[in-house]
Amino acid sequence: MKRKRSMTGLIAVAVGLVSVFSAQAQNTWSGTGDWFANTANWSGGLPMADDVVIIAAGSNLQLTNNTPALTSLTMQGGTLTCSKWATAINATTVTLNGGTVTCTGPFDETAGSSNRVYITCTDFFLASVASINVAEKGYEGGWGSGDGKGPGGSLAGGAPPGAGHGGKGGPHGANSGAPNGAIYGLTNAPTAPGSGSGGWGSVGHGGHGGGAVRIAATGAVAVNGTINVNGGASFNQSGVSGGGSGGSIYISCNTFSGTNGLLAANGGAAGTHGWSPGGGAGGRIAVDYSPVAQANLPVKPTVTFSANRGTANSGHLGESGTLFFKDDADLSGLLAGGTPVFGNAATSWTLQNLTVSGEVSIPAGLNLYVTDDLVLTNAGVLYVYADATNGVTPAYGALVSVGSDLVVYTNSWIYPVSNPTNGGSARFTVGNLTVPTANAGMDASGRGWQGAQPGAATKHGWGPGRGLGGTYPQGGGYGGRGGNTTAPGNVYGVSNQPPVSAGSGGGAYENNPSSWAGNGGGLIWIEAVRMVTLNGELLADGKVGYHISNLNSGGSGGGIYITCSTLAGNGTLSVKGANGGGHHLSAGGGGGRILVFRKSGDPLTNVFFTGGTIPSATAGAAGSVHWELISPAGTVISIK
């Protein structure tokens, strides 16, 4: 009996030790202060290695040095602010159930100080009500006559350009000497903060760049909340300063998942002054996972990725940033902006569904396959860049294949961009194409063969109907001849049968090295299995010559080629040739070609294929339009 009591006593002691250990291991922060200096705010004293750390709701905590290697760190709410570049949150598991993790900033790199959010862990979880927010915590924007900071910072002055990062910043307005903010950083491992825009005068404060977030996980990363590294808007939105560029998000992990999460690295908006400052460029986002482990996930992520450019007056927009994925796995959910880049150099990208609500660019060499629906909404923009083609196999430079419905809602646009020196163009194969309202559709205007460029050895345009340069530069030709008093741009193609091509560029005045002629219209190529409903616009007009001395000629209209079962709607088709510069020695481009083959449906009435009419003495000729009813499948035609 005595021995038995002794064993009971040992067990009691052991239980007591476990209780003491548990109390020490679970260490809760509450209140406000520095992690290392305000130790009284910790329930168990300064955290040690292997502790279980909890940050209570309503608290405010500053992290000025690395945490020990914790078993876990869990935020229930409040704010955790990181400072210094190397400061890291180290834990086996990091769970943000609420609250916000941020960093100090913005900063001036010349002072040698910078900050970011840096998390090293095995597993990371971000709940829907939690966030990592370092918007405007990158390089400073300029105040007054101060330049924007950072490698993509823009110069100060009247209407400064936007800051650059994943793309170039938006171009300047009145400040003709300032270049766009530059592109910098790595696509597949971005770590740099966004840059600031230059300021102007006493009221112009350029937008700050977005901050940097690095999550280095060896296991699972789940993002149900928001990670925000957006660049800042011009501080005086009625003024003339530009937007800061988006920052960077770099996540490495074994698997990536999330439901309705958001990763945002958008550029900042420019001021709205009529001098037109530039918008900030999008930043960079990279998710580096194990392709094998990712493919085995039972549920695909539905996370929004956005590296959109900042808003600005028309013509002064920056470029969108980049979205890097380890392979072409279906990670999209919603693409709100950016240019996808794949680590496995994929030439095709297959998604079940895709919704575009910002600006997304499909680069040359990448074909897009959407199994079900592709939808553009909320002023969404999709650029499709075509690669060069040999014109035989394949006869297109890019493919967008949509298994069911391609829908383009109000204020949303698809911009097919032909290869400027080869003419390779984008082909769209769809179940149904629907453009339900006006001010929406596809616009390939000025996105065909290139016009004569500044600094070129000759001032000739590109394309089969190119306009030749000289004292009397020719307009580009296609369905109609390009204008010229001596030798017009050539006509090519056939009016009533495919293939349909992009339009040709105009020629430029030979005695001005800065002369720049108009591009031809691109090609809109749609093959619909079922129905095309068009109440919006399909545009492939030529582009007018750049008006240096008004001597440069316009590009020809491009091409529109549609095949479908049923055609409906009251929309617009346009392949107009562009006007010349206006000088009597310049010339207009010829009209393009339209071919529509359908089994049923009346021709549309809003159809334009005229040549450029200015100057009238050297106007381009009209192009062609052809409507044809084709026999339904199974029709037997008997000839006696």
Q: How far is CA 522 from CA 163, 395, 426, 502, in A?
A: 30, 15, 9, 4
Lowest-confidence region among 19-33, 117-131, 273-287 = 19-33
CA distances from 38 to 22, 43, 625 (A): 22, 11, 78
- pLDDT tens digits, 330-340: 765 567 788 88
Q: How far apart are CA 486 and CA 490, in angstroms?
A: 12
Q: What average pLDDT does range 342-352 have in this prediction?
A: 88
Mean pLDDT of 223-250: 90
Per the CB < 8 A criterion, the answer to whether 95 and 72 are in contact is yes
The Cα-based distances of 99 to 155, 222, 250, 272, 432 in angstroms read: 37, 16, 21, 34, 45
Identify the pLDDT of residue 238: 58
Give the Cα separation of 371 and 304 in Å (integer): 19
Q: 483 with 582: CB under 8 angstroms?
A: no
For residue 152, pLDDT over 80 is answered with yes
Residue 496, CA distances (Å) to 484, 500, 566, 626 in order: 26, 10, 19, 6
Instruction: Read off the DSSP letter of residue 420.
Output: T
| Pairwise CA distance, residues 351 & 363, whole Å | 16
Average pLDDT over residues 275-289: 92
- Compute the average pLDDT of residues 288-297: 94
pLDDT at 240: 77
Mean pLDDT over 69-91 rounds to 97
**Type of residue numbered 71:** T
pLDDT tens digits, 90-134: 999 999 999 999 999 999 876 556 899 999 999 999 999 999 999
Q: For residue 21, give the 3-state DSSP assignment.
A: helix
Quote the pLDDT of residue 471. Answer: 84
* Amino acid letter for position 65: N
Average pLDDT taken over every residue of the chain: 89
Percentage above 90 pLDDT, the chain: 68
Q: What's the pLDDT band for 392 if we cut at 50, 70, 90?
A: low
Q: Has residue 329 got a pLDDT over 90?
A: no
Q: Is the pLDDT of residue 577 over 90?
A: yes
pLDDT band at 7 (very low <50, low <70, confident <90, very high): very low
Nearest 5°: phi and psi at 561?
-130, 120
The separation between CA 350 and the C-alpha centre of its own chain, rounded to angstroms, equals 18
Amino acid 4: pLDDT: 36
Give DSSP secondary structure letters for 133-192: E-TT-SBPPPBTTPPPPSTTPPPPSSSPPPP-SSSPPPPPSS-TTPPPPPP-S-SSS--P
Q: pLDDT tier at 453 (50, 70, 90 boundaries)?
A: confident
Residue 379, classed as helix, strand or coil, is: coil
